[in-house]
Structures are given as C-alpha cells and as structure tokens.
C-alpha cells in the first residue's frame, strides 16, 4: 500500500498517515534516503496512545528522537526503543515499508487482522 512519495517527507522530518483499516496512524521518519516507520502508538499504556502534539509533530525539539507528547518519552528513530520516559526499555511497533523504484514509500504488507480497528 502506497503511503506517499519519498520527497513528500522532508529530510529529518516526520509525518503521520491514516491507513484505512488501521486503528492508529503510521509514522514515517526520514533520515537522508532512509525511512523508518512505526505505529503511532506509545507503549506506555495498554492499547497504546497517539504520540504527536499536533498533526505530523512527532519529533522532539532537536529532531533527534521520536517523542511521545503525553509525558515526554523519547524513542530512538532507528530502533524505536524508548531511551527516556515512562516506557523506558519498551519499543514502538515497527511497520515494514519499502521505497519503490519510482520513489514511492509503500507498506510491505496489508495490515494484519488483529491490527484492524
């Protein structure tokens, strides 16, 4: 499933995408030509909670980490591991994506049954 074009996520920035059938958005973070994708779901509370403070605003002020703007938890962009905050040591759920030869960012597979809201 196509989410957007690579050049629609600016280098060093993040964007959130609603995917039909998925309860939570998918976050894309771009670092150069690499794209990291996670579910917009902070692991602090059971069931997960949305992390942005405003549409597409998923990063901390310095742009070094994904942040949950509930309680300020910080997650490594490359691994999704929480390195500070209430869910210390837990991870964001990765979403498998690929960049197509034509420059589209695509989810590798359709959402699994248990992910459907």
Partner 1 sequence: MNIIGPDYLVFGVDDLVACSEFLTAFGLTPAGVDDKGGLFEALDGTGVIIRHKSDPDLPAPLPTATMLRQQVYGVRGDADIEAIAAELGKDRKVHRLADGTIETTDDFGFALKFQVTKRRKLEMPAEKINAPGAPAQRGPNVLGVWDGMPAKPRMLSHTVLFVPDIEVATGFYCQRLGFVITDVLKGAGPFLRPKDNDDHHTLFFIRTPEYMKGIEHLAFHMGGPTELMVAGSRFVKSGYESFWGPGRHKFGSNWFWYFNSPLGTHFEYDADMDKHDDEWIAREAPFGPEASQMFLLQHREKWVPGPGPAPKE
**CA dist 35 → 44, 84, 87, 103 (Å):** 24, 22, 23, 12
Asked if residue 27 binds partner 1 (CB under 8 A), the reply is no
Q: Minimum Å distance from CB 51 to partner 1?
A: 7
Q: Give the residue among 19, 5, 17, 14 at the shortest CA–CA distance from 99.
A: 5
Torsion region of 51: left, alpha or beta (phi above 0 gives left; psi -120 to 50 gives alpha): alpha
Q: Distance between CA atoms of 81 and 48, rounded to whole angstroms?
A: 15
Asked if residue 70 binds partner 1 (CB under 8 A), the reply is yes
Residues 36-65 that bind partner 1 (CB under 8 A): 49-55, 57, 60-62
Q: Minimum Å distance from CB 80 to partner 1?
A: 16
Asked if residue 72 binds partner 1 (CB under 8 A), the reply is yes
Q: Minimum Å distance from CB 98 to partner 1?
A: 28
Q: Minimum Å distance from CB 5 to partner 1?
A: 22
* C-beta of residue 110 within 8 angstroms of C-beta of residue 1: yes
Residue numbers of the site for partner 1 (CB under 8 A)?
49-55, 57, 60-62, 67-74, 84-86, 88
């Amino acid at each position: 499933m196509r989410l957007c074009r690579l050049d629609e996520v600016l280098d060093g920035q993040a964007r959130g995408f609603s995917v039909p059938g998925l309860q939570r958005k998918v976050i894309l973070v771009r670092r150069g030509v690499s794209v990291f994708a996670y579910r917009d779901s902070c692991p602090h509370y059971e069931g997960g909670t949305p992390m942005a403070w405003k549409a597409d605003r998923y990063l901390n002020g310095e742009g070094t980490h994904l942040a949950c703007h509930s309680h300020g938890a910080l997650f490594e962009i490359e691994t999704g591991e929480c390195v500070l905050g209430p869910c210390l040591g837990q991870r964001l759920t990765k979403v498998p994506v690929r960049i197509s030869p034509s420059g589209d960012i695509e989810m590798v597979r359709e959402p699994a049954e248990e992910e459907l809201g």
